[in-house]
Amino acid sequence: MLRRALRAAWPTVRFTVRMDRGSAYGWLHVSWEDGPTTSQVDLLAKAYEGSRFNGQDDTYHRTPNMLVYFAGEQLPQEVWYACCGVNTSRRIGAEGYARVLAMMNAAQPGVARLRADGRGLVTAYLDDQAAADLDVLPGPVDVECAAWRLHHRIDFTEAG
């Protein structure tokens, strides 16, 4: 159901939805490249959690059952989601690197470039002024760190 909801919300983005392993065995893990922001996906995914962690008493509390309409059904059915929670992770892809490189190089010409293998940026630092202009304070800041901070704010499903 989570896969269908993600596909309906962002039809052009490829999401991977898997059960986590090890000590996170009861959790779902959602990953994608560029696309919507993490907070947008988290907001949708929270509806599919079967329980939520309560830091006050250090336990999980079951979420209420949901009423869900299924295709062809006249009345909703009561559904309880069995996963403990949903973890999400967003990766920087080619489009993401292109956008953040353009932003950093506009603020400080020539500071950022992609590594030859395409997996990260060549080590360099944004100066104080460029970091302030991009709102990735404090400066000086490593360009890879700045890339992640900038990427976190960009919704790639919107034009521009």
3-state SS assignment for residue 154: coil
Residue 144: how many other CB atoms lie within 10 Å: 17
Look up the pTM and report it: 0.80
CA distances from 157 to 14, 24, 49 (A): 12, 30, 25
Q: For residue 12, what are the contacts with CB-CB under 8 A and spacing of at least 6?
A: 35, 157
- Tokens standing for residue 103: 């932003």
Q: What is the pLDDT along the chain (160 residues), one digit of tens a residue?
A: 899 899 999 999 999 999 877 776 788 899 999 999 999 999 999 888 888 778 899 887 777 776 666 777 777 777 777 788 889 999 999 999 999 999 999 999 999 999 998 888 998 999 999 999 999 988 789 999 999 999 999 999 886 5
Query: Which H or E run contains 139?
Result: none
